[in-house]
Structure 1
């Protein structure tokens, strides 16, 4: 399988990014649907009310751990927060046409983007992305949630931390673990790393 070049990846990133306004609108809709005030949701998700207000208005982006806390408090899932279509989905998603989202497009502190292999949709039992991690990029964490995760390193070198264990992985290595274990990862190589990542149920 051919690995996309860095130039082609960057071109797609310039074309498609996550939408903070859309994410904020989804959070606000979920909060209002459940009859929660800003203060109540902020307390449940252990974040400040002012930050939550900025997130709902598209002026700030949550870290991945915060987003997990928010969707848990809202009894929702991360997939729905980023879902772009409510219509019937296709079967084939061509190279170069798959959307990329940044985990933190406003702060850009983590150097990680997710290339959607299949769209976020309640119709899918699996969530599948290609995680692209810039040199020195690191996921926010550790995070924990229900489910199971499977990954395959396409290119580069990473460290995968699961609970109290650290694994160094390179291209061709794979992994599987219970999502309820605290986990996070970082790029420890000299080039951009990419991981084919599948988890269930849909979270991220």
Structure 2
């Protein structure tokens, strides 16, 4: 089965040779590869191999990435939803990522029921953003309610507890780092 990456090597070599303002004869003299072989390689009539490519890349001052395009993997994340009791976690990052990102849905607290916080601790650092509903966050001595568009970040070694506040469920975006590193956002591009 033909490989499109290999098929593009010849035209890329020709383009780089022309950018360097070299003729086939000049590149031939620099590489000890005949001009006819170079021409066939550029037109795709000769298969590329390392014996040909290494001297050409040296003469043209190229890296392998300059002539063999990188394969860009499909950027979509497989949608995996986990349920722990009534709490829903939709994974928004691959399991191998240093930062784990989830869309979390916490169920509504039944009307008239008072739920006592049960704070937990674990290693890591968490950032969360309320997408919909109202979130009750108990963190150390703080007991706060966050609304849509509000965010919080905290060291998960501080006792913490989360629940929906009000009559409906709460949806939030959460980013968790097991390494305990803080989330750093740039206010403007680095110069």
Give the TM-score normalised by structure 2. Answer: 0.49
Bigger Cα Rg: 2
